[in-house]
């Protein structure tokens, strides 16, 4: 990297530091200020934070890499996320904001029982290690190794420390406002690389002609090893439901909005931003396949940054990569500390002062960071394509949680006994699959029934596990006592409180129009990139 590139990177870090310092000045006043940003952050900042928290370095590396090996089909996860964000805004957010919860496990306790809260808190923290912290750090360190020649462990440690500084001291407000800057930096960097890569291939026309036609088909055959259309249509929404509508890292941002309509608009704005990754991350990967046919998928994006970008622009794109990494890491650090403090520490010390809760939140991420680093060597056993690894691990833990949340809101008869039985049974089935896949890929497991179980497509497995989970929840609920009024109180919120939480009716009408427009755009993209067109 040239001196100009280094200057661009330094300017980026200075800007992030300044925004983090400015936004953190009032974050230490109370637990609500530290963990929920005080409840008065605007929809645009929250929406950008939702997008930036989701788009981490593994998206740059994984989407480009999987695009290079499989084509546009991996982009289905991005566009299906648009519908999941709408579901978050229109179904889930009103319940979350009206009940005044800090965490998703806390919400499960209000709807079901304490056991559900404890289970989800523990599983969420474990999931952050396996599918968020470790993958984000690994992807970012891989970029630094390829572009700057850094040792991968040194890169991982440096990135964690740099991100932790403003996260620990600034809380959610600092995370959201730094994400706001980082979202547009990563979008700008992605646009630059896409334009240059397609230009180097010869332009959009030659690019479309040189690539294999099936690379531009979103809908793959039912036998496709990674993205069968049945798995995409029925399995991917289950993963999306869990991630976008029930995951602490995502939902916590919407709780920082002043009312339901502003929270809803933030999800719609994030949905429009989620239209972009297919064009600025997956397409460059396909172009990279033409330019660098011998490069491994996980190395594709970093190689393109190194080989294609001119001085100055390279610094901007690397800043975009670091922005993606740091925004996701800061988000998961903040959400992890919220879970630890609100679901464990506060229950252990119910009389803890506001300052004590904030201090506990600042100190609670160290073990998670170390655990994430220790897990890094095992990622290679799962898949050569980083993004596929991330999605597949989520397929093993998300269906039972998604089933409990969705059925719990749509069916009042669902009770706590049914919910906890569903969560435990689903976890056992998912854990067996996870261990079996590790063992099969490493050659440790050869027993045919277990190998067959381990090699079911992960999206099809998500469908199967979701159906089993719903069946268990319904069966146990119907054969045990109905839930008490205490656990149904969220459906009986007073009219005065509802009106206070709702927001402007004019904004409500606008939100409905924007939501319909977003849904139509996704359907149009589905039609354009379908086998009938290509």
pLDDT one-digit tens code per residue, 417-439: 999 999 999 999 988 888 888 78
Report the range out of 11-25, 59-73, 176-190, 249-263 with the highest average pLDDT.
249-263
Task: Of 14-28, 152-166, 259-273, 282-296, give the range with the top mean pLDDT.
Answer: 259-273
Highest mean pLDDT among 279-293, 306-320, 364-378: 279-293
Rounded Cα gap, residues 374 and 371, in angstroms: 5
Return the structure tokens found at 181. 């800057």
Among 68-77, 105-114, 192-201, 485-494, whose mean pLDDT is lowest? 485-494
At residue 58, the pLDDT reads: 67
The mean pLDDT of 47-53, rounded to a whole number, is 89
pLDDT in tens, 201-258: 888 888 888 777 788 888 888 888 888 899 999 999 999 999 899 988 899 889 989 8
**pLDDT at residue 533 tops 50:** no
Q: What is the pLDDT of residue 126?
A: 77
Residue with tokens 């974050």: 27
Residue 272 has pLDDT above 50, yes or no: yes
Q: Report the largest interatomic distance among the alpha carbons of the chain, rounded to a whole angstrom.
A: 70
Is 70 exceeded by the pLDDT of residue 199? yes
- The average pLDDT across 298-302 equals 80
**How far is 262 from 337, CA to CA, in rounded Å?**
25
pLDDT bucket at 74, cuts 50 / 70 / 90: confident
Q: How far apart (Å, rounded) are the C-alpha atoms in residues 289 and 274?
A: 24
- What pLDDT band is residue 379 in, cutting at 50, 70 and 90? low
Rounded Cα–Cα distance for residues 269 and 48 (Å):
8
Terminal CA-CA length for the chain? 40
**Do residues 333 and 167 make contact, with C-beta atoms less than 8 angstroms apart?**
yes
pLDDT at 501: 56
Structure confidence at residue 493 as a pLDDT band (50, 70, 90):
low
pLDDT above 90: residue 80: yes
Least confident of 38-52, 128-142, 226-240, 280-294: 128-142
Q: Is the pLDDT of residue 67 over 60?
A: yes
pTM (two decimals): 0.86
- Whether 55 contacts 328, CB under 8 Å: yes
Does residue 64 contact residue 321 with C-beta atoms inside 8 Å? no
What's the pLDDT at 383? 46
For residue 352, give both structure tokens.
Answer: 């803890």
pLDDT at 496 over 50: no
**3-state DSSP call for residue 325?**
helix
**What distance lies between CA 60 and its chain's CA centroid?**
13
Looking at 358-410, which runs of residues are DSSP E strands?
none
């Amino acid at each position: 990297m040239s001196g100009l590139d280094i200057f661009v990177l330094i300017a980026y870090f200075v800007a992030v530091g300044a925004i983090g310092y400015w936004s953190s000045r009032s974050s230490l006043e109370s637990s609500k200020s530290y963990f929920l940003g005080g409840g008065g952050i605007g929809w645009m900042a929250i929406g950008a934070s939702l997008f930036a928290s989701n788009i981490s370095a593994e998206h740059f590396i994984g989407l480009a890499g999987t695009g290079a090996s499989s084509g546009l089909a991996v982009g289905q996860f991005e566009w299906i996320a648009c519908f999941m964000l709408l579901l978050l805004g229109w179904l889930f957010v009103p319940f979350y904001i009206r009940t005044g919860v800090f965490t998703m496990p806390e919400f499960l306790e209000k709807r079901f029982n304490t056991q559900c809260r404890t289970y989800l808190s523990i599983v969420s923290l474990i999931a952050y290690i396996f599918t968020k912290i470790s993958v984000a750090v690994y992807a970012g360190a891989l970029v630094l190794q390829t572009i700057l020649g850094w040792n991968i462990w040194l890169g991982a440690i440096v990135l964690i420390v740099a991100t932790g500084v403003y996260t620990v001291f600034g809380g959610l407000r600092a995370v959201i406002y730094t994400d706001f800057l980082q979202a547009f930096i990563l979008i700008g960097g992605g646009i630059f690389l896409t334009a240059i890569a397609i230009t180097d291939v010869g332009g959009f026309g030659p690019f479309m002609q040189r690539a294999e036609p099936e690379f531009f088909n979103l809908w793959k055959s039912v036998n496709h090893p990674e993205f069968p259309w049945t798995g995409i249509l029925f399995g991917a929404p289950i993963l999306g439901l869990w991630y976008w509508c029930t995951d602490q890292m995502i939902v916590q941002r919407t709780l920082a909005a002043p009312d339901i309509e502003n929270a809803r608009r933030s999800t719609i704005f994030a949905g429009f931003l989620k239209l972009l990754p297919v064009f600025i991350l997956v397409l460059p990967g396909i172009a990279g396949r033409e330019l660098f046919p011998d490069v491994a998928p996980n190395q594709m994006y970093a190689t393109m940054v190194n080989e294609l970008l001119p001085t100055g622009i390279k610094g901007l794109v690397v800043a975009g990569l670091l922005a993606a990494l740091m925004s996701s890491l800061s988000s998961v650090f903040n959400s992890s500390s919220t879970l630890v403090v609100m679901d464990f520490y506060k229950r252990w010390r119910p009389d803890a002062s506001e300052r004590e809760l904030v201090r506990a939140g600042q100190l609670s991420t160290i073990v998670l960071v170390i655990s994430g680093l220790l897990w890094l060597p095992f990622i290679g056993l799962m898949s050569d394509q980083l993004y596929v690894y991330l999605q597949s691990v989520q397929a093993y833990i998300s269906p039972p949680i998604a089933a409990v949340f969705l059925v719990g809101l749509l069916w009042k008869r669902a009770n706590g006994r049914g919910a906890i039985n569903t969560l435990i049974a689903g976890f056992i089935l998912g854990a067996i699959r996870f261990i079996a896949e590790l063992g099969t890929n490493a050659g440790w497991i050869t027993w045919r029934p277990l190998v067959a179980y381990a090699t079911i497509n992960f999206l099809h497995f998500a469908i199967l596990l979701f159906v089993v989970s719903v069946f268990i929840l319904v069966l146990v609920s119907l054969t045990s006592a109905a839930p008490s009024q205490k656990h149904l109180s969220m459906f009986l919120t007073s009219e005065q409180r509802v009106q206070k939480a709702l927001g402007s009716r004019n904004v409500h009408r606008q939100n409905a129009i924007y939501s319909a427009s977003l849904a139509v755009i996704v359907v149009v993209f589905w039609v354009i990139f379908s086998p009938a067109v290509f």
